[in-house]
Structure 1
Amino acid sequence: MRLLHRLATLIIAAGLFCISFRPVIAEQNAASSRVPNIVLILADDLGYADLGCYGARDIRTPNIDRLAKEGTRYTSFCVAQSVCTASRAALMSGCYPHRIGMAGALNHTSKVGIHADELLLPELLHKRGYATACFGKWHLGTKPVFFPTRNGFDQWAGLPYSNDNGPLHPTVRDIPALPFYRNDEVTETDPDQSQFTKRFTRLSIEFVTANKDKPFFLYLPQVMPHVPIFASPEFKGKSKRGLYGDVVEELDAGVGELMRALDDLQLAENTLVIFLSDNGPFLSYGDHAGRAEPFREGKLTTFEGGHRMPFIVRWPSKVPAAQVRNELITALDLLPSLATITGAKLPTLAIDGVDLSPLLLGKEQSQGRDSFAYYSASELHAVRKRNWKLHFPHEYLTVAGPPGVGGKPANFANMKPNSIEQSGIRGIASRHGYRVEKIEQSLFDLLADPGEMKNVAADNAAIVTELSKLGDQFRSELGDSLSQVKGAGLRPAGLSE
């Protein structure tokens, strides 16, 4: 009887243990099956060569370098256009910017913005049950009707346009005070720009902490290092590359703080972190600008220095660690790829992005994008297929003389203050210290010649023909103002009243 009594006691205890343990198992299973959190960090005008993991030796970026060690670093990632609004429009919509009427860089006078019919990445994720926040520069419409809170974000704090679109612009006068928004309300004017990086980092940490028990999408489009650049007192004078290096090192420190918060909250294992820049460096500003080596030119051009960006993806146990990949991937591809990863539904309107989630997740035999079009506003400047890039004849900007110093652009001594209403390539050149040059039809092998210096068109007639036909396909769908082709697939931007 004693043996039977003991056996009965053990059975009852085991049953109670299973009952008490079952919720723990269920909780663990729920955590492991939950869709991933997403943290998308976007630097502004950061050059390809400004991070330690991309070759910088005079700027210390240990935290971003750690992301690369713990994830995958890409060497052939391109943004859709090499200027702020257009680049961000593509990132958020999965569309070539010209398709949706979002070329160039909007300013305080702009009346257009992202159209309400465009379904953006935050909207897709919000429908999937994500908490969403944007802290930093928006730049997809400077009127409240176009703001993040109208496009899938639960909350927003930051700037509607670039930080030089205010009284601190070095060459343009009569610009109103720079507004800082909390959701749809201006809460400050001309805020202390040296606190931007710390401020947006702190808001980001508060957001992930408040939403640690649900899926979240954090979009952190930092204002720096777009000119005018500022570092907080703790970082000023610390870098070997002057103030610009100080600013990048502070950005890196902010990334580190955010990653530590994810670790402390035990969220790192289920958080997909992406780091990139919106376009290449503003080379005319010299010691206040980044570097794009080994690529040619920078921001505002369709050479690789304007389009080829740092791109790092980390998701522990899902994305391979310490891997470097050189397949072609673009900002257009993030929306469809993240939709697949999270189970979100794609927009019904046509997009240009390709689902490259197998590539992002390091699947064997996964491939990158097959082809890509380099647009400047509505002008088709070049096309790429595999390692070949064909430039069609076009004008482009290059720095006018020695690069500027101390926050002033090249040729500043010869400039006369002008109006921001001036438009076109020559207006940009006059405001920012560039001159206009022209490239004729040129074919480059980007593997052998990443700096686009040796035109090999004469020796590769078949490749030129193939890429010329590819250019015609893009013109048919997306247009080309250089060829006076409208394009069948264009949609309008939104227009504020």
Structure 2
Amino acid sequence: NESAKPKVGFILADELGVECRSTDGGTSLKTPNIDKLAAQGMRFTRCFSNPFCSPSRASLLTGRYPFKNGLTTVLDTKEKEDLYLHPDQPSFARQLKQAGYATELAGKWHMSLEHKHNTINDLGFDQYQTWRIFDDNGEKTTRYWTPYLIRNGTVIADQVKERYGPDLDLEFHLNFIKTMAEKKQPFLAYYATCLPHFPWEPTPDSKEQGYRERVIGHKGDPKFFPDMVAYLDKQIGKMLQTLDDLGIADHTIVIFLADNGTDRALVNEWSGGRKIAGGKGTMTDRGTHVPLIVRWPGRIKEGSACTDLIDFSDLLPTLCEVTGSVLPKQEIHGRSFAPQLFGKSGNPREWVHIQHQTARQVRNSDYMLDNKNQLRRVVEIWEDAAKPDENRFPEKEAAARKSLQAVFDSLGK
């Protein structure tokens, strides 16, 4: 019965560490709609990504770690145009599509450089509108004001002049949701917004607008970061309101998370006045500890929290379980946390795996071991990273090293 399948609204923020979310202790930024989502659903206090964009997005989509899905580095230069997520990899979009879902992606793809390899349809998305990082000449493009957007394979040029990229993406996204709701068609609507990734520029709501110089490659001014987070939050509010207006909110699972930690140029405050610098690109919690919230009215307890370890590979099996879709035939690393969503204990993982390029790390609740055999204590996010091999608790450290090395051995290369 197609109408009985839950609809899925997936929101992926771009570079928003856990310290940015007030429901976890952040005090610098105001996010009333994200807070409302957490109050109406379950927040996961220990969700871990990879430290950079492309590997995180690929682990999320495939249910596999980078060494297995092949996307181990961020696609940020033209020299990487032949590195991409191959269509033979698993994909939660494909699994849901095979189960009768209409599928859509709006915002940022970044699992291939689309001027050379466009694999969005092949990986299971029926419709898409994305910012393309390079134009046909291999020149870098803009994502915010007058963005370079591709809609279902075609560059849209005239409609974007002096428009704000996230507005255009949200319009495409909400139109898809409205169309599918009218058709009573189950859908996966994936909003992978560019916000609040640099360049930090004024949003349409910023008081100061004169800064809109479209200099490609600049990082902008960090003073606009709070405006960009506020705009992301406002867009989430519009999305939730649309679900209410269409009468489908109770039948829609909404998932919010971010692809990696906050940029290192940004400092946010945590409760108690602690200042926390972003850690994007580092194998620390500041680079990889991200927010995750899931709402499903009437099914997930309001205002609940789960402290289990979650990593990005877990989203694929979880989505398959809650939508009644089959798992892919290929081996995946993820473990479903669907039971936890419904208040059961489930089968929580004891460790997460984090990777950038050849650097890999497995982390449990107390220790992290990297593939250079360095063991570090897990510290609070406001503390400086622990030094390797401190030898403070020899027996405990030896046991942690043994169990985490066994994880590496079981995963292989």
The TM tier, using the shorter chain, reads: 0.7 to 0.9
Matched AA of 1:366: G
Q: Deviations over 1:103-133 (max 9, x none)?
A: 1111344112111211201000000100110
Alignment match of 1:208 (pick from 148, 160, 177): 177
Native 8 Å contact 2:17 2:278 kept in 1: no
Q: 2:14 aligned with 1:40, yes or no?
A: no
**1:342/1:233 CA distance change after superposition, 3 Å:** closer
SS in 2 for 1:226: coil
Alignment match of 2:190 (pick from 208, 213, 219): 219
Q: Deviations over 1:254-300 (max 9, x none)?
A: 0000100100101000100011110001113x4xx767878775111
Q: Deviations over 1:79-100 (max 9, x none)?
A: 1x11010000000000001211
**1:357/1:161 CA distance change after superposition, 3 Å:** farther
Q: 2:18 aligned with 1:85, yes or no?
A: no
| 1:164-183 equivalences in 2 (<5 Å) | 166=140, 179-183=148-152
Displacement of 1:160 in angstroms is: 3.8
Alignment match of 2:124 (pick from 119, 141, 152): 152
**1:353/1:87 CA distance change after superposition, 3 Å:** same
Alignment match of 1:129 (pick from 100, 107, 116): 100
Per the alignment, residue 49 of structure 1 pairs with 19
Per the alignment, residue 308 of structure 1 pairs with 289
**1:155/1:348 CA distance change after superposition, 3 Å:** same
Native 8 Å contact 2:369 2:405 kept in 1: no
Q: 2:359 aligned with 1:379, yes or no?
A: yes
SS in 2 for 1:76: strand
Displacement of 1:195 in angstroms is: 1.0
SS in 1 for 2:45: strand
Per the alignment, residue 332 of structure 2 pairs with 351
**1:455/1:161 CA distance change after superposition, 3 Å:** same
Native 8 Å contact 1:295 1:304 kept in 2: no
Per the alignment, residue 341 of structure 1 pairs with 322
Displacement of 1:210 in angstroms is: 0.2
Whole-Å Cα distance in 1 between the matches of residues 407 and 238 of structure 2? 43
Structure 1: stretches of 5+ with no match in the other structure: 1-29, 170-176, 395-439, 480-486, 488-497
**1:39/1:476 CA distance change after superposition, 3 Å:** same
| 1:145-294 equivalences in 2 (<5 Å) | 145-161=117-133, 166=140, 179-188=148-157, 195-212=164-181, 213-236=184-207, 242-284=223-265, 286=266
TM-score, normalised relative to structure 1:
0.71
Which structure would you say has the larger RCO, counting Cα contacts within 8 Å and 6 or more residues apart?
2
Displacement of 1:338 in angstroms is: 1.0
Native 8 Å contact 2:142 2:148 kept in 1: no
Q: Deviations over 1:371-413 (max 9, x none)?
A: 1223222222x3222x22234486xxxxxxxxxxxxxxxxxxx
SS in 2 for 1:147: coil
SS in 1 for 2:164: helix
Q: Of Structure 1 and Structure 2, which has the larger fraction of its residues in helix?
A: 1
| 1:447-486 equivalences in 2 (<5 Å) | 452-453=385-386, 457-476=390-409
Displacement of 1:468 in angstroms is: 2.8
Displacement of 1:461 in angstroms is: 2.6
**1:325/1:471 CA distance change after superposition, 3 Å:** closer
Matched AA of 1:310: P
| 1:360-379 equivalences in 2 (<5 Å) | 360-363=341-344, 365-379=345-359
Per the alignment, residue 19 of structure 1 pairs with none
Number of aligned positions between the proteins: 388
Matched AA of 2:337: L
SS in 1 for 2:121: helix
**1:371/1:193 CA distance change after superposition, 3 Å:** farther
Whole-Å Cα distance in 2 between the matches of residues 190 and 302 of structure 1? 40
Structure possessing the higher radius of gyration over alpha carbons: 1
**1:390/1:295 CA distance change after superposition, 3 Å:** farther
Native 8 Å contact 2:314 2:335 kept in 1: yes
Whole-Å Cα distance in 2 between the matches of residues 279 and 98 of structure 1? 18
Q: 2:377 aligned with 1:444, yes or no?
A: yes
Matched AA of 2:191: L
Native 8 Å contact 2:63 2:333 kept in 1: yes
Q: Deviations over 1:193-212 (max 9, x none)?
A: 87122222222211110001
Whole-Å Cα distance in 2 between the matches of residues 356 and 295 of structure 1? 29
Matched AA of 2:12: L
SS in 2 for 1:369: coil
Per the alignment, residue 437 of structure 1 pairs with none
Q: Point out the more displaced range, 147-156 or 106-115.
A: 106-115
Native 8 Å contact 1:229 1:244 kept in 2: yes
The alignment-based identity, stated in percent, is: 28
SS in 2 for 1:217: strand
Displacement of 1:227 in angstroms is: 0.9
C-alpha RMSD of matched pairs (Å): 3.1
Per the alignment, residue 406 of structure 1 pairs with none
Native 8 Å contact 2:16 2:196 kept in 1: yes
TM-score, normalised relative to structure 2:
0.84
**1:89/1:193 CA distance change after superposition, 3 Å:** farther
**1:392/1:133 CA distance change after superposition, 3 Å:** closer
Whole-Å Cα distance in 2 between the matches of residues 82 and 346 of structure 1? 26
Displacement of 1:161 in angstroms is: 4.2
**1:291/1:48 CA distance change after superposition, 3 Å:** farther
